[in-house]
Structure 1
Amino acid sequence: MPMFAPTRYTTDASAEGQQAVKTAAQALVRKRLGLLDAHLANREWILDRRSVIDAYVFPMIRWASGLLPGGVSDLRNVSALHDRLAADVSVQKVLASEAA
């Protein structure tokens, strides 16, 4: 069983029960990213300057973009943070290395 399978969080093994866990998790992630989106209003970075927390959240945004229905395109500030970080030459090198 995968480490993060819905069965880890419920005893309901039915397809409906598994989907309910997945839906609840997606809602929680979207809520947290919504808080981040609001925090980023009128800001370029999470803190007053670029910091390690921006680097930490970058893979979380990438993960959410692929797993949340509709991605994060509706979270304008989160998407802008992602794009700023993705444009960094060092980040591009790491992503290219991962892809290879």
Structure 2
Amino acid sequence: MLDRFPEIYEVEAVMPGFKVPTEEGIEEVISTIAPFLSVSGGSIELIELDDGEGVNPRPTIVLGIGGPPAKNASLKAEVVRRVKFIYGQAEVQLHELVMEED
């Protein structure tokens, strides 16, 4: 391609699901899930993000999920699916949040 199009000086392959996770990007994904969880009495939040630049070469995303949805395996699987759709190379962990009673 570089030989045929001299205006192009660089070609970079971008694989779906291989974006580098950022706090803002993860919060954007969470914002698509949070309204549904809140209706069912739950919540979701980013607890920890390791971008994979340190000792662990694989990014790790730790999310906290609370309320009744935390007990629902299919909802938890959907949360992981949505995050992995964008950040496919990342390890996604879900931890149950203890909800404080009013």
Shared fold, TM over 0.5: no
Structure showing greater relative contact order (alpha-carbon pairs closer than 8 Å, 6 or more residues apart) = 2
More strand by share: 2
More helix by share: 1
Structure number with bigger Rg: 2
TM-score by length of 1: 0.31
TM-score by length of 2: 0.31
